[in-house]
Amino acid sequence: MTEIVQPDRRQPVLGDQPLEQPGQPFRGQRVVVGRGESVAAVAIVRPRLRRLAVADAALAFERARTPSVAGMTSQSETQRTWIITGASAGFGRAIAEYAVGRGDNVVLAVRRPGSVADLADAHRDQVLVAEFDVRDTWRAGDVVRSAVERFGRVDVLVNNAGRGVVGAAEEVGEEELRASLELHLLGPAALVRAVLPYFREQGSGTIVQMSSQGGRISFPGVGAYSAGKFALEGWSEALAGEVAPFGVRVMIVEPSRFRTSFNAPDVLGIADASAAYTGLLGAVRNDMASADGIQEGDPVRAAQIIVDLVAGDELPLRLPLGREAVERIARSYRQNLQELERWAPTARAADFPGAAASVRPI
């Protein structure tokens, strides 16, 4: 039967906690779920803050901004263990299927375990299902420990769970904006903190952050979504420099439109429209809602690219996926550079006259 890791439903009290030690036994009770001998593990995990000391910040930063090379050994001939959030559909499901097909182990972190039962039943020796809502940050350590218990190690974390929100800044309320940040930044950050002690101890590991072209460029109507993705990208760029000395790699993936459920009516969030923005955002709403099923991007091809890159030795810090992403990001960079050059004299005039240029460690 399928093994499912079910979280304890009690939210722990926050407090100062020691750093988690890799290899720490899984604490919790074993309960029988489903049919037959299926077993679920339950544990209470408190969120912890972890700080990494980087001896040479400048070197780490430069290593993170160039194609990554993990250690001195090839990544291409080893069996990996993946943790993938949002694995029930879209990119997450495609990555999981391709990784399993290569012989890797996969932990499917999903809100509804039944959505991946077919994949788990077909590959019982390679697949573990973890019932997990990314917004429940205090349960991140539970997922990581269950992966280590089952497969002995973790090699790749894919933060994939996400959801689009369409609406003007005035239309999207604080609750919706906060939910976007929890889903796209705070949840992934908690999983990264939970997995890093294991990565550091083993001297290797790869973090794949599924962002969007909307994490590099934004336009009217998608501010709440882009806010979460911009935050994820800024946080991840700093992360890459911090963990590079430990042999840990970070790749930020920036897809354009792909044929996933992202634009489906029951998935895409659309804020209540106000008359003031109908003329400006009406076309944006219609475009986002009508794109379902006709997107040009193929998630299966994208998954193969991602998995093959992780299996190789070189990894870009940022990977736009799809023709539209490449073209729109490139156009945005050209426009930003033109604007920067135009206003550079005005910007430089803000410094103290004759002051020496700042010297920074990175």
Question: By mean pLDDT, which of 164-173, 204-213, 256-265, 296-305 is the weakest?
Answer: 256-265
**211 has a pLDDT exceeding 90:** yes
Q: How many angstroms separate the CA atoms of 134 and 109, rounded?
A: 8
Mean pLDDT of the chain: 78
Phi and psi, residue 210, nearest 5°: -80, 100
Q: Domain ranges in the chain?
A: 56-348
Query: Quick one: average pLDDT of 179-183?
Result: 90
- Give 157's strand partners: 83, 207
Give 179 or 152, the one with higher predicted confidence.
Answer: 152
Sequential DSSP letters for 195-223: HHHHHHHHT-EEEEEE--GGGT---TT-H
What was the pLDDT predicted at 287? 61
Neighbours of 131 (CB within 10 A): 20
The CATH class of the 56-348 domain is alpha beta
- Max mean pLDDT among 220-224, 282-286, 292-296 falls in 220-224
Active site residues: 211, 225, 229
Phi and psi, residue 307, nearest 5°: -65, -40
What was the pLDDT predicted at 354? 87
Query: Quick one: average pLDDT of 283-300?
Result: 66
Neighbours of 279 (CB within 10 A): 8
What was the pLDDT predicted at 295? 62
**46 has a pLDDT exceeding 60:** no
Three-class secondary structure of residue 234 per DSSP: helix
Three-class secondary structure of residue 264 per DSSP: coil
What was the pLDDT predicted at 265? 41
Question: By mean pLDDT, which of 2-6, 150-154, 224-228 is the weakest?
Answer: 2-6
How do the residues of the chain divide into helix, strand and coil, expressed in percent and rounded to 5?
45, 15, 40
What was the pLDDT predicted at 8? 60
Token pair in block for residue 52: 């990494």
Q: How many angstroms separate the CA atoms of 268 and 180, rounded?
A: 12
What was the pLDDT predicted at 65? 56
Q: Are strands 81-85 and 165-166 parallel, antiparallel or unpaired?
A: unpaired
Q: How many angstroms separate the CA atoms of 230 and 215, rounded?
A: 4
Closest of 106, 133, 140, 139 to residue 2, by C-alpha: 106
Q: How many angstroms separate the CA atoms of 180 and 174, rounded?
A: 10
- Give 251's strand partners: 208
Percent pLDDT > 90 in the chain is 47
Give 340 or 291, the one with higher predicted confidence.
Answer: 340
Q: Is the dihedral of CA 23, 29, 30, 35 positive or negative?
A: negative
